[in-house]
């Protein structure tokens, strides 16, 4: 039997079409599948934007399965991971099996998702009943995967899981007495045997970082592979920024102290000084992070300076000394637990030295990490210091493009200019950020949805500019007018928590007569369920609701965006990246700020049309999109919606496409409860 091609599986008269009732053949899906097929066949790098509704999951899974190669699929979310592993791959296995195509697959999650048998035994033997360790005992004896997702009754913040979870800094390796029965070992063995491996960006980037560093064989997780396909690839640089930098927090130090307390080997080795060493570790941690956070308000994230370091030099030295004692003592012991604690203490010492070295402008440690900027991050109950990569291009060239024969990147939002076809350079910004080869292939596949007929784009050019004092009140009034016109089904996306809170309060005082919801008042999925069920609700949000939200149908018929979503210019990483571009003779605003805003704006727009029958309006309350030169570039990257210049044009479009407007004059009323506080993706203004 001749090998099947992607066209034979997805094209006219295909096995999928015959097997599935209601199967919808999509030209864009077939176009994308053939581009992925070529990249896999010829070991190429491919960047491909696939518009909403393309059906991109099957468009890359089919050629991946048919290639006969070992392929890793990496996603940004566990939700998509589970969908691919539990729904899409079983479908292909059933349909293609009838044509002689067989394959195996494995699901890999981050190590913290799995129970560590060694740490479980240590926690149980320590007699710390306060952890409630018995609550996982029966499950541990029954589970085949050790995946905490099976423990549906265990709270996310449960301290028992922190005590027994696996992790790259707690894993011992082949010398562990539980190695053969280890759930992570089983996961790795399943992945080694599999043809298709489903991971997420966090795990893939963590694996690259560990392999690039000095973690050794047992620090890596993902087995060697012939190709990798990154879905939701627009998130990759953000994830990689975390993993190719360092973060040193009080919780990381205290976790080592907690595990050291449970280690019988360390206790015996240190004898009467055991308590003193742990006390010194805790005291120096408190001094270091307490001094750094003392004068900062929660939510602060700024560059860590030499004066910051000078103020905590003694505390940093004391912390290093306490860690050195643990590292030396643990490393000299015979038991796995003590030696692992020693390695973890050494790792924290290394990270502390790296961050403080950057603040003194010492040359970066190019053997382990890319050039980085040091920062301080203060939260409500904790503080962290760390360093983030400025330019990840060299890292991806070394760790990915030079090592994996075929690398494919896809998302609905990669392009920063409007263009369709295989010869486009609209994805140049994203390619450059990842250090892709100059000859990498690039394509944009248009969405099958008719944006020109079904969607409108309204720019409220008559409002004040966003930095004007009167903008907030004018924006709230315009939102109320649009809500009245639409009759609800409105998602208000804000670029800061302050704006979200202010608009929520003002809209509540206007008595919209519709369910008014705000992000942070309850868990995300429950909030979205309420919004979907209401069908006429108004949801004011920021952060994660800019992307990954799927509310098809009448429940979401208008998206309102308060401002152009420029990244916070004072964020340490943004500052450092912009400075690097400017030093090289470029314009950081044109080469970084505008392209990143274009991708985020496109994500916000993408919440509106999720199915062919959807219709509605996206509103941008920021007049700069039409009054500033850069506005043309931002709007050119968006889908081809009908441009609307006034409320009257919005009303006419609504009447023609969506249905009769439902205008009703809002009246004053008592304000709603105060909004909850959450961290913003873009930072407070």
**Cα dist from 99 to 38, 94, 527, whole Å:** 22, 10, 44
Give the span between the Cα atoms of 611 and 631, in whole angstroms: 28
479 compared with 214, residue with greater pLDDT:
479
Helix (H, G, I), strand (E, B) or coil at 201: helix
Predicted pLDDT at 370: 61
Do 347 and 407 belong to one domain?
Answer: no
Domain assignment present for residue 609? The answer is yes
- 348-369 confidence digits (pLDDT tens): 999 998 888 766 534 344 344 5
Buried-exposed string 431-457: b where 16+ CB fall within 10 A, e elsewhere: bebbbbeeebbbbbbbbbbebeebbbb
Domain assignment present for residue 121? The answer is no
Contact indicator for 461, 626 with CB cutoff of 8 Å: yes
Tell me the two tokens of residue 678.
Answer: 């959450």
Do 648 and 584 belong to one domain?
Answer: yes
Do 379 and 461 belong to one domain?
Answer: no
Contact indicator for 669, 510 with CB cutoff of 8 Å: yes
Domain assignment present for residue 529? The answer is yes
Give the span between the Cα atoms of 75 and 198, in whole angstroms: 8
Do 264 and 317 belong to one domain?
Answer: yes
Supply φ then ψ for residue 481, to 5 degrees. Answer: -65, -40
> For residue 525, what is the domain's CATH number?
3.40.50.300
Give the span between the Cα atoms of 89 and 149, in whole angstroms: 20
Do 13 and 42 belong to one domain?
Answer: yes
Predicted pLDDT at 648: 94
Give the span between the Cα atoms of 561 and 130, in whole angstroms: 47
Contact indicator for 333, 265 with CB cutoff of 8 Å: yes
Lowest mean pLDDT among 139-143, 236-240, 291-295, 355-359: 355-359
Give the span between the Cα atoms of 424 and 433, in whole angstroms: 17
Contact indicator for 392, 409 with CB cutoff of 8 Å: no
Do 425 and 472 belong to one domain?
Answer: no
- 597-647 confidence digits (pLDDT tens): 999 999 999 999 988 899 999 999 999 999 999 999 999 999 999 999 999
Domain count, the chain: 3
Predicted pLDDT at 634: 92
Do 457 and 360 belong to one domain?
Answer: no
Domain assignment present for residue 216? The answer is no
Contact indicator for 506, 473 with CB cutoff of 8 Å: yes
Number of neighbours of residue 297 by Cβ within 10 angstroms: 9
Do 575 and 653 belong to one domain?
Answer: yes
> For residue 251, what is the domain's CATH number?
1.10.275.40
| Burial (Cβ within 10 Å: 0-12, 13-18, ≥19) of residue 102 | exposed
Contact indicator for 165, 116 with CB cutoff of 8 Å: yes
pTM of the entire predicted model:
0.86
- 492-539 confidence digits (pLDDT tens): 999 988 999 999 999 999 989 999 999 988 878 888 899 999 999 999
pLDDT band per the 50, 70, 90 thresholds, residue 663 = low
Domain assignment present for residue 153? The answer is no
| Burial (Cβ within 10 Å: 0-12, 13-18, ≥19) of residue 665 | exposed
Tell me the two tokens of residue 178.
Answer: 């539980």
Of the candidates 160, 182, 208, 216, the residue with the CA atom closest to the CA atom of residue 343: 216
Q: Cβ contacts of residue 34 below 8 Å, gap of 6+?
A: 6, 7, 63
Tell me the two tokens of residue 166.
Answer: 């696996």
Of the candidates 121, 160, 473, 155, the residue with the CA atom closest to the CA atom of residue 262: 121
Helix (H, G, I), strand (E, B) or coil at 115: strand
Tell me the two tokens of residue 228.
Answer: 């990798």
pLDDT band per the 50, 70, 90 thresholds, residue 420 = very low
Signed CA dihedral, 151, 156, 160, 162: sign only = positive
Domain assignment present for residue 22? The answer is yes
Structural domain that includes position 336: 246-389
Do 496 and 373 belong to one domain?
Answer: no
The strand pair at 406-411 and 105-107 is best described as: unpaired
Give the span between the Cα atoms of 264 and 125, in whole angstroms: 10
- 368-386 confidence digits (pLDDT tens): 456 788 899 998 878 899 9
Give the span between the Cα atoms of 57 and 28, in whole angstroms: 12
């Amino acid at each position: 039997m001749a090998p099947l091609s992607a066209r034979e599986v997805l094209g006219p008269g295909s096995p999928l079409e015959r097997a599935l009732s209601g199967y919808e053949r999509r030209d864009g899906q077939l176009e994308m599948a053939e581009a992925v097929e070529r990249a896999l066949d010829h070991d190429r790098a491919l960047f491909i934007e696939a518009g909403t509704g393309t059906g991109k999951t099957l468009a890359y899974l089919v050629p991946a399965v048919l290639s006969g190669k070992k392929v890793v699929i990496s996603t940004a979310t566990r939700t998509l991971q589970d969908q691919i592993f539990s729904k899409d791959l079983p479908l292909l296995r059933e349909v293609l099996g009838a044509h002689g195509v067989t394959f195996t697959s494995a699901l890999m999650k981050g190590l913290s998702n799995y129970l560590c048998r060694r740490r479980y035994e240590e926690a149980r033997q320590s007699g710390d009943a306060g952890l409630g360790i018995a609550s996982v005992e029966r499950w541990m004896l029954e589970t085949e995967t050790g995946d905490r997702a099976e423990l549906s009754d265990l709270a996310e913040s449960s301290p028992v899981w922190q005590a027994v979870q696996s992790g790259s800094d707690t894993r011992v390796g082949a010398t562990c007495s539980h190695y053969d029965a280890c759930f992570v070992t089983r996961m790795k063995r399943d992945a080694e045997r599999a043809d298709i491996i489903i991971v997420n960006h966090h795990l893939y980037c963590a694996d690259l970082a560990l392999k690039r560093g000095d973690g050794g064989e047992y620090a890596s997780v993902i087995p060697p592979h012939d190709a990798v396909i990154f879905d939701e690839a627009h998130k990759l640089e953000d994830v990689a920024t975390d993993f190719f930098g360092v973060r040193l927090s009080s919780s990381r130090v205290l976790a080592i102290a907690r595990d050291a307390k449970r280690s019988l080997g360390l206790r015996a080795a240190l004898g009467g000084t055991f308590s003193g060493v742990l006390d010194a570790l805790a005291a120096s941690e408190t001094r270091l992070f307490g001094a750094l956070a003392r004068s900062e308000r929660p939510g602060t994230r700024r560059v860590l300076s030499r004066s910051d370091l000078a103020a905590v030099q003694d505390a940093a030295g004391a912390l290093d000394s306490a860690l050195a004692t643990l590292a030396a003592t643990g490393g000299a012991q015979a038991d796995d637990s003590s030696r692992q604690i020693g390695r973890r203490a050494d790792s924290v010492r290394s990270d502390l030295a790296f961050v403080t070295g950057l603040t003194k402008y010492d040359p970066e440690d190019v053997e382990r990490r890319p050039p980085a900027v040091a920062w301080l991050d203060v939260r409500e109950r904790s503080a962290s210091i760390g360093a983030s990569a400025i330019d990840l291009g060299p890292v991806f060239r070394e760790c990915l493009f030079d090592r994996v024969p075929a690398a494919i990147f896809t998302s609905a939002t990669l392009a920063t200019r409007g263009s369709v076809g295989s010869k486009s350079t609209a994805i140049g910004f994203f390619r450059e950020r990842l250090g892709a080869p100059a000859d990498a292939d690039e394509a944009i596949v248009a969405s099958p949805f008719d944006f020109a007929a079904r969607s409108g784009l309204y720019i409220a050019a008559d409002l004040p500019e966003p930095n004007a004092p009167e903008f907030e009140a004018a924006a709230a009034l315009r939102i109320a007018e649009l809500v009245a016109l639409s009759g609800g089904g409105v998602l208000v996306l804000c670029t800061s928590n302050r704006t979200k809170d202010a608009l929520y309060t003002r809209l509540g005082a206007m008595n919209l007569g519709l369910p008014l919801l705000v992000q942070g008042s309850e868990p995300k999925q429950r909030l979205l369920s309420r919004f979907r069920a209401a069908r006429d609700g108004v949801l004011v949000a920021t952060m994660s609701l800019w992307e990954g939200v799927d509310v098809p149908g009448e429940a979401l018929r208008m998206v309102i965006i308060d401002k152009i979503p420029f990244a916070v210019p004072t964020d340490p990483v943004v500052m450092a990246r912009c400075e690097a571009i400017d030093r090289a003779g470029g314009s950081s605003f044109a080469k970084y700020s505008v392209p990143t805003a274009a991708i985020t704006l496109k994500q916000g727009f993408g919440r509106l049309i999720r199915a062919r029958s959807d219709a509605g309006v996206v509103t941008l309350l920021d007049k700069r999109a039409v009054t500033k030169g850069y506005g043309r570039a931002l709007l050119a990257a968006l889908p081809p919606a009908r441009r609307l210049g006034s409320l009257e044009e919005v009303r006419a479009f609504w009447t023609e496409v969506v249905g009769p407007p439902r205008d009703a004059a809002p009246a004053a009323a008592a304000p709603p409860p105060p909004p909850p506080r959450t961290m913003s993706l873009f930072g407070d203004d």
